Amino acid sequence: MLVGPATGTVTTVRGLVGLPEHVGRQLGTDDSAVVLLTPVERFDARFDVLLRRAATAGVAVLVVGLADGAPLPGAGTAALADRLGVAVVVTPDPWAASVRVHELIGSGDAPAARAAVVAARVGLDAGPALDELFTRLEHELGHAIRFLDASGRPLRGAGVAPATAALLARTVGTSEPVWATDDRETVVAVPVPTGIGPRAWLAVGTTTPVRAERVVLATALRVAAVAAGHRLVLTRLDDERDARYRMAMLDDLRTADGAPAPPLVQRTIAAGWELDAWHVGVRLVAREPVDAVALRREVETAFDAHGLDVVVVEQTDGWALWCSSSDEPDRAAVAALAASVRAAQNALRSAVDTNAGVGSVHAGPAGLVRTLGEAGDAVRLAAARPESGFFVHVDRLGLAQLLLAWTQTDTFLPAAEQLLAPLERGGGALRSTLAAYLDAESSVAETAAVLGVHRNTVADRIDRVQRLLGVDLGDPETRLALHLATRALGGA
């Protein structure tokens, strides 16, 4: 724009050859845009006459090319153009500009066809990475490409207005472009066909779209969406293959019962898993059906943002995760880790609501399996704990709560054995006495009768049990936990 008003309406375009005074004599009342195909050498009085004749004929804009060394319009010409309401726009190629303006105020079919060819060529030539595809499209179309998820949330590029995002989120079952206009821009969004999973959107925002530009953008995006969808499908297949590999490897570790064979160890090393380390396991279970493969990167990003370097393995109901360290973390470090897990869980809520469980710290391959088992027990309890944000850390549980969860898992018996292990110092008598005492509802006399010993012997053994286990049998929760353990182990 050289001089004159910045806005106006153009319905027709006409290209004329000749000097300004000759062009002025050829103007008609049907001309709203006139392109001077002969470069202008100077903006003198003769050009001012052209401006007056253009205003009289109703011309909104003059498109000119400048001859080499031609000066820009002076203050007088600029003031005249403003007063008459005629804009003067400069272009390096008047002939191409004439064709372009004609196309823009026409149906847009020709430029749309060219845009489709360009988008198809970019889709074929660009590499497998989506970002390369989008960068090349931006260069060809002259607009920033936005990649949005099914809800209208930006995955690449700028976001869209909340009303536009809401429109995209509720638009399903269509392959047609979606248009939305707010007070800032007009957005055209085209669904990306994948055939699997939720749809995504390719979008472009523009501030003053004419009809032809809308056609061009929609056409180019529809072609580009096919290329993007093809890449998404290939990426998804790779992601699913990798997820199955990780899941199978973790299942093999569990089956190995803490003693993985060398080939399995080699696979874990290749995957970057540190088995000979200290581990804290985490389980995330989605509260609604979820695509664990698609959201894996969201999980990694949320945990990384809170300082947690985790291994993430997809599960049918969510994810198994763990942190590994070469040195044993102290209680404060484990508590801080659990707090970070809770923060990451909260950060994930924008993508998925989860129940979260955190296990205790354990060492080695067997320790990894055990801490993940504890995390699985904890996450089952978390499902019934909205007051804790659906979050449970095993280290913060009471004995009864923990054992009640463990009775539903393969980790219950080892936990019960560990709990009652100090009683082995009594040669089995302490454990059998405890079992009989709890079966007798804490009656010393009835226990003595069942075991055939003196009441004082029973009382002495019960005192020793409390000292060895560090518990108070007057606590109902503790009695329940120990009762479950003795029943599970047969009382002997």
Token representation of residue 464: 């020793």
Give the model's confidence band at 215: pLDDT under 50 very low, under 70 low, under 90 confident, else very high.
confident
Burial of 37 (0-12, 13-18, 19+ CB in 10 A): middle
- The label of the residue with tokens 């182990």 reads 489
Q: Judge whether residue 491 has pLDDT over 50.
A: no
- What single-letter amino acid sits at 75? A
Residue 191, pLDDT score:
92
What is the end-to-end Cα distance of the chain in Å, rounded? 95
Q: What residues contact residue 485 under an 8 Å CB cut-off, 6+ apart?
A: 403, 415, 416, 419, 420
Q: Judge whether residue 406 has pLDDT over 90.
A: no
Give the model's confidence band at 404: pLDDT under 50 very low, under 70 low, under 90 confident, else very high.
low
Q: Fold match between 13-104 and 109-233?
A: no
Give the orientation angle of helix 476-488 with respect to helix 429-439, to 10 degrees.
120
Residue 9, pLDDT score:
77
Q: Which of 8-17, 41-50, 183-192 has the lowest mean pLDDT?
A: 8-17
Domain 109-233 adopts which CATH fold?
Answer: Beta-Lactamase (3.30.450)
List 205's β-bridge partners, or say none.
Answer: 187
Query: Residue 338 in 3-state DSSP?
Result: helix
Query: Residue 203 in 3-state DSSP?
Result: strand
Give the orientation angle of helix 429-439 with respect to helix 455-469, to 10 degrees.
100
**Within a 10 A sphere around the Cβ of 105, how many other Cβ atoms?**
18
Which bin fits 108, alpha (ψ -120 to 50), beta or left (φ > 0)?
left
Q: Judge whether residue 194 has pLDDT over 80.
A: no
- The two beta strands, 33-40 and 61-66, are parallel
Q: Judge whether residue 12 has pLDDT over 90.
A: no
Domain 256-395 adopts which CATH fold?
Answer: Alpha-Beta Plaits (3.30.70)
CATH of region 13-104: 3.40.1390
Residues of the chain with pLDDT > 90: what percent? 42
Residue 492, pLDDT score:
43
- Confidence (pTM): 0.56
The residue extents of the domains of the chain are: 13-104, 109-233, 256-395, 416-488
What are the two backbone dihedrals, phi and then psi, of residue 159, each rounded to the nearest 5 degrees?
-85, -175
